[in-house]
Amino acid sequence: MFKKGLLIVLSGPSGAGKGTIAKALLKNENNIKLSISTTTRKPRVGETDGKNYFFTTVDKFKNLIEEDKLLEWAKVYDNYYGTPKDFVLKNIEEGFDVILEIDIQGALKVKDKFPEGVFVFILPPSMEELKNRIKKRGTETEEEILKRFKCAYEEINFVSRYNYVVINDDVNNAVEKIKAIIVAEKCRVDRNKGLYLKIKEGQ
């Protein structure tokens, strides 16, 4: 069977719970790794290079862009953030499944560069629940919450660009579905070209 790992892109509107699901996916799983971003922002207290982020300089980041070594990147205020291609490819080659938790714009950029990834859209059970979750974070003004909510409302239209949609009504339930998606994807005929030839030739 398909021996390599998969890149699983978990994406969806803010408040859908993709971060919680990503963390829960890693529990008791030795075969799943979280993708590590590269950034030009300074490390915060307690952050380790190569664990929380790969910390780098603006010049080196720009080189990565030029050399096409990022699956996606974005500039947020004064800092660059990106997904290093090498990390993902190396782990996939070794048989690890790599989870990339990312916003919708980022996921669509990854899809252009790496269409063989598995693109999972996480949906909230309802828009009401999404609003509550955004509110609960409690870090934003009413105006910011409304803006974020409207943005989420529009972003849901992008689900059609994804392979799978998982409703996050219950984290464990969502995690079980994503695990099933990983197993199923590895059985897809288009990921196993050559397998039947090997069997026929007795290799």
Annotated binding site: 12-19
| Side chain identity at residue 86, one-letter code | D
Q: Which residue, 32 or 156, is less far from a copy of itself as judged by CB? A: 156
**Which positions touch a copy of itself (CB under 8 A)?**
1, 120-121, 123-128, 153, 156-157, 159-160, 162-167, 176-177, 179-181, 183-185, 187-189, 192, 195-196, 199-200, 202
Residues ≥6 apart with Cβ < 8 Å to 14: 103, 134, 148, 151, 152
Take residue 155 and report the two structure tokens written for it: 């972003």
* CA dist 87 → 64, 68, 129 (Å): 13, 13, 35
Burial pattern 72-111, b for ≥16 Cβ within 10 A else e, equals bbeeeeeebbbbbbebbbebbeeebbbbbbbbbebbbbbb
Q: Which residue, 26 or 180, is less far from a copy of itself as judged by CB? A: 180
Q: Which residue, 36 or 107, is less far from a copy of itself as judged by CB? A: 107
Query: What is the C-alpha radius of gyration for the chain, rounded to an integer number of angstroms?
Result: 18
Answer yes or no: are the C-beta atoms of 11 and 119 closer than 8 Å.
yes
Q: Which residue, 101 or 185, is less far from a copy of itself as judged by CB? A: 185
Nearest approach in angstroms of CB 108 to a copy of itself is 14
Nearest approach in angstroms of CB 153 to a copy of itself is 6
Binding residues for ATP: 12-19
Nearest approach in angstroms of CB 51 to a copy of itself is 31
Nearest approach in angstroms of CB 140 to a copy of itself is 22
